[in-house]
Structure 1
Amino acid sequence: MKPIDRFISQMVESARLAQTQDASAATALIQKALAESGLLPHGVQAPQAPFANPGQAPFVDLNPAPRWSARMGRRHAPGARQAKADPRAPGRFIDGSFSCGAGTRHYKLYIPAQPAKQPRALVVMLHGCTQNPDDFATGTAMNALAEEHGCLVLYPAQDKGANHNGCWNWFETAHQAREQGEPAILAGMTRQVMAEHEADPARVFVAGLSAGGAMAAILGAEYPDLYAAVGVHSGLPAGSARDMMSGLKAMREPGKAKRLRKGVAAIVIHGDADHLVNAGNGEAVLGQFLKAQAAPLHKHSEAHDHAGRRCTRSTWRDEGGRTVLEHWQLHGAGHAWSGGNPAGSHTDASGPSASAEMLRFFLAQGA
């Protein structure tokens, strides 16, 4: 059995044990699975406490965050963790929170130092499992790009009470529909920030990594009236799972994606050596948004070396020449943010820069 298959089977079994209320056995199996797969650093223990959600084992799709992030987390409230400031991003990085009937989440918001000459574009960035807003901002370096282009960047923070490993619950049906669960919270948070900071409603975008990418796909599927474009890095299509066990299966074996009511522009980035989320999921995300497009599109593909990595980039353009869909297949890349800053977790310094390519694609939609 391949290591990833063994890891997934162990996680599935741990979920079964949790459902039978045998939390100690489930925790022991999770520790064993993490240690054998290399996902648990030497000397670090997996959680010993019962699971935050009854019947739900921790859902892991990323390596643990760096130690500086964990240390900061002990001194700051959720969503308010801090990393070393980026001198290229001299704007304000402020704390906030949003509450609605579906729950409360904290967030960080980057506001550029340069004065706004017009309503700003807003990019919502959804972190992956074990990450937090400061870590994700550091690893993606999106704030520096936002400063250059005058954009707001919103980093929602998953609450550990909602998911022990800080994953967005993309795999649960309760968090896959419009105005329900986490999609309702994230869309409401987006609207609140838009109103408070006078964002341009025609230039609101959402992107994410892994679990965050899967949730970004859900937001694009459920809120095409709110988000003009979606960026999915190493994620999964909307509706690809109904619970944790089917989510683990979808990570390994991409299944049938739900049909969307309306298409939005989307850029998909995925490494073909991703051992945690099968690269076929990137193609499934692309297909999901492609099928929802109302008008015929023209495809163009090219392979080239890009900042130290061989890539295949495919684009789909409308009759007016605007790129509506874009797919980056990163040859030899694993499960990490492409072109990221090593000071953040789950990054690959080799290019292309996912942040630069996503922002370029996003801003072209509102041009």
Structure 2
Amino acid sequence: MSQVLAELAARVPKRAPNLRPTVLVADLPERATFERRRYEGPHGSREYLLFCPSGQQRPIRGVVMMLHGCTQTPDDFAVGTGMNRLADDHDLIVVYPEQTRGDNMQLCWNWFRPGDQRSDGGEAALLAGLGAAVLAEHGLEPAGLFVGGLSAGGAMAALLANTHPHLVTAAAVHSGLAPGSAKDVVSALAAMRGDASGRAEALTVPSIIFHGSADATVAPVNAGRLAGPLTATTERTGTGPSRRFDVLSGLNASGHPVEVWRINGAGHTWSGGKAEGSYTDPTGPDASAEMIRFFVEILDKRKG
């Protein structure tokens, strides 16, 4: 098993030594807040960062939970995705839970462990409790939570969406894997390579999915497993500053909208991210902007 764990660690891209940014107050919109907190719940505890937007006279529209990838920190992820300023424009709160080395030496969310894949225990239940607590604190309805993540964080975001569909309104998964793709480290490695030995479950909530065609860490085939069979599909092609992308839109088995973005030549990185963060590709398209656009469209439809 030690050899298997070593192989899994080897597949985690190494961080550049200078990429451990600190989120500065100067980087925040005026009157916005960004603070470190700790959540204690029946399924465990975690520290997290909480961004509250500057438009204090306007009602909060929802909460976006952002789950970092392996070896990342919440600060790093906030900087790299640029999510705070986008959320500020739309009166959204952002919560960044922090994985610990005590729970995973590579700081990965444990999406592949059966004990963390349950609705009534483990990390999925812990994150659901944290999300529900933030919603309640700000007087928002239980179904006002949006989740997004990169790599292992994306896999955990997808898992959280499927285990708690009454809580999660929509999901955004970047370079991640479908729930049920793995049950241990060995099957996790297989799923990351693209093997179909697991029982992958498509997302059941409205979802936007991003994956680079040159991802050598998580095989691009996993994007299709996250989406599952779609109906009423349309396709379009576009170009970012230097990358072509193809978008497949349709409805999943639950009748919810799904978008699958396949980004030509992109690796295991956050598309359109800021160079100051780790695992980012500034060339675009801007995954953060598209995530927020998708989430706001869902909010607008619910309001209408």
Question: TM over 0.5: same fold?
Answer: yes
Aligned counterpart in structure 2 of residue 306 of structure 1, from 237, 240, 244: 240
Aligned counterpart in structure 1 of residue 206 of structure 2, from 260, 265, 282: 265
Instruction: Find the residue that maps to 1:199 and give its secondary structure.
Output: coil
Shift of 1:203: 3.1
Label 1:196 to 1:356 Cα distance change in 2 as closer, same or farther (>3 A): same
Aligned counterpart in structure 1 of residue 36 of structure 2, from 92, 95, 99: 95
Distance (whole Å) between structure 2 residues aligned to residue 116 and residue 159 of structure 1: 36
**1:233-291 residue CA offsets vs partner (Å, 9 max, x unmatched):** 0000001001111101110024254446x82101100001000000001111111xx57
The aligned counterpart of 2:18 is 67
Label 1:253 to 1:302 Cα distance change in 2 as closer, same or farther (>3 A): same
Sequence identity percentage: 40
Shift of 1:65: 5.7
The aligned counterpart of 1:340 is 273
Amino acid at match of 1:301: E
The aligned counterpart of 1:79 is none
Amino acid at match of 1:14: Q
Shift of 1:200: 4.5
The aligned counterpart of 2:108 is 167
The aligned counterpart of 1:27 is none
The aligned counterpart of 2:174 is 233
Say if 2:216 and 2:267, in contact at 8 Å, map to a contact too: yes
Instruction: Find the residue that maps to 1:366 and give its secondary structure.
Output: helix
Say if 1:273 and 1:332, in contact at 8 Å, map to a contact too: yes
**1:110-149 residue CA offsets vs partner (Å, 9 max, x unmatched):** 0011115224311000000000111000000000101111
**1:169-222 residue CA offsets vs partner (Å, 9 max, x unmatched):** 011111111121000110000011111122354432000000000001101111
Distance (whole Å) between structure 1 residues aligned to residue 118 and residue 85 of structure 2: 33
Verify: 1:276 aligned to 2:265, yes or no: no
The 5-angstrom pairing of residues 106-121 of structure 1 reads 106-121=47-62
Shift of 1:85: 4.5
Say if 2:142 and 2:166, in contact at 8 Å, map to a contact too: no
Unmatched tracts of structure 2, length 5 or more: none
Say if 2:212 and 2:265, in contact at 8 Å, map to a contact too: yes
Instruction: Find the residue that maps to 1:359 and give its secondary structure.
Output: helix
Instruction: Find the residue that maps to 1:110 and give its secondary structure.
Output: strand
Say if 2:19 and 2:276, in contact at 8 Å, map to a contact too: no
Aligned counterpart in structure 2 of residue 331 of structure 1, from 260, 264, 287: 264
Say if 1:105 and 1:157, in contact at 8 Å, map to a contact too: yes
Q: Greater shift after overlay, 352-361 or 115-124?
A: 115-124
Distance (whole Å) between structure 1 residues aligned to residue 262 and residue 19 of structure 2: 31
Unmatched tracts of structure 1, length 5 or more: 1-11, 19-29, 34-56, 73-81, 292-296
**How many matched pairs?**
296
Label 1:278 to 1:361 Cα distance change in 2 as closer, same or farther (>3 A): same
The aligned counterpart of 1:247 is 188
Distance (whole Å) between structure 2 residues aligned to residue 188 and residue 203 of structure 1: 13
